[in-house]
Amino acid sequence: MSLLWLRFALGCYFISLIYAFVALTRTSDLFSRIALHAASLGMVFHFVSLVELFLSGQVVWASVHNGESLLAFLSMTFFMVIYAIYKTTSPGVVVFPVVFFLTFVAAVDEQPVLLTQFVSHKGWLVAHIILIFTGYAALVLSFGASLLYLLQERRLKAKKASSLISFLPALEVIDQIGYRSLLLGFPFMTLGLLTGSVVAVTTYGHVDFLDPKILLSVLMWAVYMVMVFTRWNSGWRGRRAAFLATFAFVAALAAWAANYFSTIHRFAAS
Amino acid sequence: MRFQLIGVNHKSAPLEVRERLAIPESRLPDTCRDLTAYPGIEEGMVISTCNRVEIVTHTTNGSADLRGFLHDHFHLTAAELDSHLYEFREKEAVRHLFRVASSLDSMVVGEAQILGQVKEAYATARAVGAVRGQLDQLFSRAFAVAKRVRSETAVGSSSVSIASVAVELAKKIFGTLQGKNVFIVGAGKMSELAARHLMAHGCASIFVANRTYDRAIGLAQKFNGQAIKFEDLYSTCDRADIVITSTGAPHAIFRREHGEQFLARRKNRPMFFIDIAVPRDVSPEMAKLDGIFTYDIDDLQQAVSSHVADRRKEAELAEAIITSEVERFEARLHTLDVVPTIVSLQDHLETIRQAEIDRVRGRLGQLTPEQEIAVEALTRGIINKVMHTPITTLKSAARESEATTVVDVVRRLFNLHDKVTTPPDKKDEVGTRQ
């Protein structure tokens, strides 16, 4: 059943996805409202799907696809929070495609298998998953914001008359969205890694730092920290910040992909 | 009507060219004198604003070498300059001037500033005696037309000024202007206006730096701001988020290294430079820095042009007014051209009539008052009847382009001597007009 709801959600996200592409070329108030409603409705279905999953008795989130579904939902939540504060749908340009992709992959087929049978402290595992994914979602937003910042900066620099009526919010607003997501995401990511270590230690007795998953996760965390630091210390933004954010994002993707190579952090294969 | 006009404006020439032609206010009187001393030019004046340099003249034969004047005066070659120039003669020159004064040729159509600038240029030229009869008439009319356009169309209402565009751009960068600081470099009217707009949108405080410190203090007081000594400009400028700069400096005063300093001190928070100076105050190198957003006067025009569409309709209405005004002015000038001829024609015939009556009176002897009246009426009647057609022809010809030909023919036929009314000498008025 949860998969069915997820597919409903996917349909709604599809409408948002179209918005993401159209918004790049022209501004339409009506369309952004439609996209917003579609996204909200999608979130409702998505939420139902996640709740059903949870109620199904086992914590199956640790399956790759359920993880993706959760990440999509959290990213969408972030997007909505930003909309509530800044009244802008523009981060959707980046968030919607990511969410759609994640939901799409998650909704393709059922995947109940999990690799949690050895885990002794399920509570730590749940905490780990939620914290890490919140961190990921914040990273997606911050990555999106840095791309939008670049875009808006270009438009302002190119002095296009159309920049006056663009769909993008003011440069400083984009900057704030990015910075706040970054600041919010960092503690989640840090705590997520810590709880992960706890799970690893309690399960295997030690943390294997040479494992690709762990290595990449630590790398991602380091880049994340550099981003927060350079931003806090010298106010890096624009091109340099976008470069770092892209690097962090790629590191995050690599860390995710490492699930397939890791000996200790492997999800059950489908 | 031997008006000739040459110039460049924001549409015909890029900023780089206009920078080289810009004439500082202090040198305007000399330029006007040079202009009137140039061969073939009777009267002349110069309008130099950040968007245009126009030379308006009344010439002796309608084909003075104005390009030559520009080349000599600015030490520019034909290759550098000529492709950017426009030149109008007679009717078209009048039309262009009317359009300029009515702000139809402005970067921001309908903005009110240009009329004031033209009036100032006129006063300057008049003070040095470069403007007398003909240009005087032309400009008085131009001001009246501008007034008419303003009152009869909506071109000037809800004016999209440079200032409001600057506010809009600032909002694109900063979102809200609450708490932002503004720095005015070079106290000018335009920067004052822009600052006023920014303050109205919530900017927190204002700094003013000017070469003349007293003027900085004066302007700062208007906004409850803070005057800054010009030498402290670079050490304080980074406190401002928005910098409006309009100094008369011949070179850029903000260079790349300054921008780097500012950004370092501001932790890379963006800065917005509104550079309304010509020549520009912000070097293009500095404008390339990440975090520095510079809009010069041309960029502002581009931003403005997106608003202009709304006004196109009103502008069309204004153009129609201009067209009818140009025709009226032309007709009036021509009428003025034929008036001396009509007067001398009447004088001429009156002299003949008087002479004939005097000659005949001897032979007729004493006339009774009734006879006197009858003779008077008879002779006058004949003359008026004969004169009627030539005078109406002259008057109607005045409205056509053939006026000069008709005037010539009449003068020759009646052997009228040149009695051209010279424009009253206005030298005694020099300096009396502000």
CATH, residue B109? 3.30.460.30
Instruction: Please indicate, yes or no, whether residues B29 and B135 belong to a single structural domain of this protein.
Output: yes
| Strand (E) or helix (H) holding B85 | none
Looking at the structure of chain B, the number of domains it has is: 3
Measured between beta carbons, the chain B residues lying within 8 angstroms of A158 are: none
Measured between beta carbons, the chain B residues lying within 8 angstroms of A163 are: 172
Q: Cα separations (Å) of B217 from A48, A116, A159?
A: 66, 74, 34
Q: Is B237 a known active-site residue?
A: no
Report pLDDT digits (tens) over B390-420. 888 877 776 666 666 777 788 788 887 654 4
Search chain B and give the residue with CA nearest A235. Answer: B267
Measured between beta carbons, the chain A residues lying within 8 angstroms of B201 are: none
Instruction: Please indicate, yes or no, whether residues B266 and B346 belong to a single structural domain of this protein.
Output: no
Average confidence (pLDDT) over A141-161: 83
Q: Assess contact for A125 and A114: CB atoms under 8 A.
A: no
B392 domain-assigned: yes
- Give the whole-angstrom CA distance, residue B5 versus residue B58: 9
Residue B228 — φ and ψ, nearest 5°?
A: -120, 140
Q: Assess contact for B272 and B173: CB atoms under 8 A.
A: yes
- Does position A239 have pLDDT exceeding 70, yes or no? yes
b/e for A102-133, b at 16 or more Cβ within 10 A? bbbebbeeebeebbbeebeeeebbbbbbbbbb
Instruction: Please indicate, yes or no, whether residues B219 and B296 belong to a single structural domain of this protein.
Output: yes
- Is some CB atom of chain A closer than 8 A to the CB atom of B299? yes
The CATH number of the domain holding residue B219 is 3.40.50.720
Q: Which residue has the tokens 């009319």?
A: B141
Of A169, A173, A239, the CB nearest to B290: A239
B319 domain-assigned: no
- Does position A43 have pLDDT exceeding 50, yes or no? yes
Of B169, B173, B306, the CB nearest to A172: B173
Instruction: Tell me the pLDDT band of A111, cut-offs 50, 70 and 90.
Output: low
Q: Are strands B242-245 and B41-48 parallel, antiparallel or unpaired?
A: unpaired
Packed helices B113-127 and B28-37: angle between N→C axes, nearest 10 degrees: 60
Of B173, B175, B306, the CB nearest to A156: B173
Residue where a domain terminates, one of B111, B133, B157: B157
B323 domain-assigned: no
Which pLDDT score is estimated for B427? 39
A30-34, A56-60, A139-143: least confident range: A56-60
A91-95, A166-170, B286-290, B389-393: least confident range: A166-170
**A164:B172 CB<8 A:** yes
Search chain A and give the residue with CA nearest B301. Answer: A161
**B172:A163 CB<8 A:** yes
- Give the whole-angstrom CA distance, residue B69 versus residue B31: 10
Search chain B and give the residue with CA nearest A156. Answer: B293
Which pLDDT score is estimated for A199? 80
Q: Assess contact for B208 and B227: CB atoms under 8 A.
A: yes
Closest CA to A263 of A201, A204, A195: A204
Q: Assess contact for A150 and A198: CB atoms under 8 A.
A: no
Evaluate whether ipTM surpasses 0.90: no
Instruction: Please indicate, yes or no, whether residues B9 and B144 belong to a single structural domain of this protein.
Output: yes
Average confidence (pLDDT) over A92-109: 84
Would you give the end-to-end CA distance of chain A in angstroms? 19
Measured between beta carbons, the chain A residues lying within 8 angstroms of B302 are: 159-161
Search chain B and give the residue with CA nearest A233. Answer: B267
Q: Assess contact for B247 and B185: CB atoms under 8 A.
A: yes
- Give the whole-angstrom CA distance, residue B367 versus residue B294: 92
Q: Assess contact for B253 and B261: CB atoms under 8 A.
A: no
Of B173, B291, B295, the CB nearest to A238: B291
Of B173, B264, B299, the CB nearest to A170: B173
Instruction: Please indicate, yes or no, whether residues B303 and B406 belong to a single structural domain of this protein.
Output: no
For residue B387, what are the domain limits? 329-362+369-420
B314 domain-assigned: no
Measured between beta carbons, the chain A residues lying within 8 angstroms of B173 are: 156, 170-172
* Mean pLDDT value across chain A: 80
B425 domain-assigned: no
- How many Cβ atoms from other residues are within 10 Å of residue A9's Cβ? 30
Instruction: Please indicate, yes or no, whether residues B149 and B21 belong to a single structural domain of this protein.
Output: yes
**A161:B295 CB<8 A:** no
- Is some CB atom of chain A closer than 8 A to the CB atom of B308? no
Q: What is the DSSP letter of A264?
A: S
Measured between beta carbons, the chain A residues lying within 8 angstroms of B293 are: 156-157
pLDDT in tens, chain B (434 residues): 688 999 998 888 888 888 888 888 888 899 999 888 888 888 899 998 888 999 999 988 777 888 889 888 888 888 888 889 999 988 899 999 999 998 888 877 777 788 888 999 999 999 998 888 788 888 999 999 998 888 777 676 544 567 778 888 888 899 888 899 999 998 877 788 888 888 888 888 999 999 989 989 988 998 889 999 999 999 999 999 999 998 888 889 999 999 999 999 998 899 999 998 888 999 999 988 888 999 988 888 777 766 666 567 678 888 888 898 988 888 887 776 777 788 888 888 888 998 888 888 878 777 888 888 888 899 999 989 988 888 888 777 766 666 667 777 887 888 876 544 444 443 343 333 33
- Is some CB atom of chain A closer than 8 A to the CB atom of B306? yes
Higher pLDDT, A57 or B96: B96
Output the DSSP codes for B222-258.
Answer: HTT-EEEEGGGHHHHGGG-SEEEE----SS-SB-HHH
Min Cα separation B303/chain A (Å): 5
Instruction: Please indicate, yes or no, whether residues B233 and B196 belong to a single structural domain of this protein.
Output: yes
- Does position A117 have pLDDT exceeding 70, yes or no? no
Mutate to test the interface with A, among B268, B292, B297, B306 (most CBs of A within 10 A): B268
Report pLDDT digits (tens) over B153-165. 767 654 456 777 8
- Give the whole-angstrom CA distance, residue A142 versus residue A176: 10
Higher pLDDT, A241 or B127: B127
- In the structure encoding, which two tokens stand for residue B337, read together? 């051209």
Catalytic residue among B32, B50, B203, B237: B50
Packed helices A2-25 and A29-55: angle between N→C axes, nearest 10 degrees: 160
Instruction: Please indicate, yes or no, whether residues B148 and B184 belong to a single structural domain of this protein.
Output: no
Amino acid in position B240:
A
Instruction: Please indicate, yes or no, whether residues B56 and B94 belong to a single structural domain of this protein.
Output: yes
- Does position A116 have pLDDT exceeding 60, yes or no? no
B265 domain-assigned: yes
Tell me the residue length of chain A: 270
Instruction: Tell me the pLDDT band of A118, cut-offs 50, 70 and 90.
Output: low
- Give the whole-angstrom CA distance, residue B121 versus residue B141: 15
B63 domain-assigned: yes
User: Structural domain boundaries of chain A?
Assistant: 1-111, 115-270
Instruction: Please indicate, yes or no, whether residues B340 and B378 belong to a single structural domain of this protein.
Output: yes
Binding-face residues of B in 253-282 toward A, CB within 8 A: 264, 266-270
Residue where a domain terminates, one of B157, B176, B193: B157
Q: Which residue has the tokens 């749908």?
A: A89
B251 domain-assigned: yes
Instruction: Please indicate, yes or no, whether residues B133 and B169 belong to a single structural domain of this protein.
Output: no
A34-48, A73-87, B277-291, B418-432: least confident range: B418-432
Interface contacts (A, B; CB < 8 Å): 57
Measured between beta carbons, the chain B residues lying within 8 angstroms of A236 are: 268
Min Cα separation B145/chain A (Å): 32
Higher pLDDT, A26 or A43: A43
Amino acid in position B60:
T
Which pLDDT score is estimated for B23? 87
Binding-site residues on chain A for chain B (CB distance < 8 A): 152-153, 156-157, 159-165, 169-173, 234-240
Instruction: Please indicate, yes or no, whether residues B85 and B203 belong to a single structural domain of this protein.
Output: no
